Amino acid sequence: MLLDPGVLHRIVVFRALPGLGDLLCVTPALRALRVACPQAQITLIGLPANRGLVDRFPHLIDELIEFAGYPGLPEQSPERDRFDKFQREMRDRQLDLAIQMHGSGVVTNAIVQDLGAQRTAGFFAGDCPDPSSFLPFQESESEIRRYLRLMEFLGIPAQQEALEFPLLTEDWQALQTVRETHKLTQNYVCIHPGASVVDRRWSVENFAAVGDVLAEMNLQVVLTGSLAEVSLAESVTQKMRLPALNLAGGTSLGTLAALLSQSRLLICNDTGVSHLAAALQTPSVVVFSGSDLQRWAPLDQSRHRAIHNSVDNRVALVVEQAKNLLEEGVYVAR
């Protein structure tokens, strides 16, 4: 189905996923959509937790509508009355296009098709709702390129594959406070040992071993993480022989982003902060444990190195890639 972007005035995108990376990975597709349809009202149907993040992208998303939950979707408890009201309100909008950007569509295609839009599009596994606007879902396809491929299938040219994360004045102000309070140097690296899924976490001992090597290179080692990851980050600092600064739980998302943007390097698991580093063009070494490297690895393989936890001599390999990135001078002061 080749769309005529000029007649699209009311567009909704369904992606009710909670993760930071879940939104960042579709920013290239949203960018393509905005460039093709500058006149359109683009609405994201997402989760309440996304609101602060969505507010950073007014150039891509005009509005966030909080999803009411639905049976079969684990991200939010379903509320039947709220869902029925949500569905009625969406139908009243007389949408021109509804795009399913939430997985294979096994559960979500029915939700999107019931929004009452003139056209619907997305991915499918199993029965195809409409071969003119739905593509087969390929599990191991890059999450970024997946939705750009959908845009092109619909006749909306891709712009760039790069992710983005806008930094605000208050983010830089908060980073300056961190610098003054914690004596943060100009020559530091970040280690983020957490991940929302425990099975995707590399071991504390491995992170500590890498941290010591970086500290021996006269780099200030900074541990980052959420409030729930304070003790995890502290465990890494305790396992290290050399001092490290633990900022886990002490930064907002915006402050963390500003901190990462000035970091020489990031060492992390496959989690949202990996995509944040990609958006900020901060070099990184990402360890994959129990997740699909092909689907979630950063696309820029010169700036970001993805390593699977199943390989031999993992610590040595992470250290080698970290040193290579530092020596190659991929970092550019911003």
The DSSP 8-state label assigned to residue 270 in this structure reads S
Nearby residues of 14 by Cβ (< 8 Å), 6 or more positions away: 45, 67, 98, 99, 100, 101, 102, 108, 111, 112, 115, 122
Topology annotation, domain 169-328 = Rossmann fold (3.40.50)
3-state helix, strand, coil in the chain (%, to 5): 40, 15, 45
Q: Which residues pair with 304 in a beta bridge?
A: 284
10 burial type by CB count under 10 A (0-12 exposed, 13-18 middle, 19+ buried)? middle
Convert 97-131 to b/e letters by CB count within 10 Å (16 or more is b): bbbbbbbbbeebbebbbebebebbbbbbeeeebee
Q: SS3 for 121? A: strand
User: What's the Cα-to-Cα distance from 191 to each of 209, 211, 220, 319, 320, rounded to whole Å?
Assistant: 11, 7, 11, 12, 16
Place of tokens 């029925």: 84
Every domain of the chain and the residues it spans: 5-153, 169-328
CA separation for the pair 138, 147 (Å, rounded): 11
13: enclosing H helix or E strand: strand 10-14
Contact yes or no for 265/322 (Cβ under 8 A): yes
Cα angle for residues 15, 285, 332 (degrees, 5° grid):
95
H helices of 12-100, in order, are: 20-24, 27-36, 51-54, 80-92
pTM, rounded to two decimals: 0.95
Instruction: Give 10-residue mean pLDDT values along the chain (334 residues).
Output: 83 96 98 96 95 96 94 86 92 97 96 96 95 96 97 94 98 97 96 92 96 98 97 98 98 98 98 98 96 95 94 92 88 44
CA separation for the pair 200, 290 (Å, rounded): 6
- Say yes or no: do domains 5-153 and 169-328 share a fold: yes
Q: What is the largest CA-CA distance in the chain?
A: 63
The reported pLDDT for the residue numbered 65 is 96
User: What's the Cα-to-Cα distance from 262 to each of 161, 259, 305, rounded to whole Å?
Assistant: 22, 6, 18
The reported pLDDT for the residue numbered 331 is 45
Tokens at 21, concatenated = 């990376």
The reported pLDDT for the residue numbered 334 is 43
First-to-last CA distance in the chain? 42
CA separation for the pair 106, 72 (Å, rounded): 9
Pick the CATH number of 5-153 from 1.10.10.60, 3.40.50.2000, 2.40.110.10, 3.40.640.10: 3.40.50.2000
The reported pLDDT for the residue numbered 329 is 73
Nearby residues of 313 by Cβ (< 8 Å), 6 or more positions away: none
The reported pLDDT for the residue numbered 143 is 97
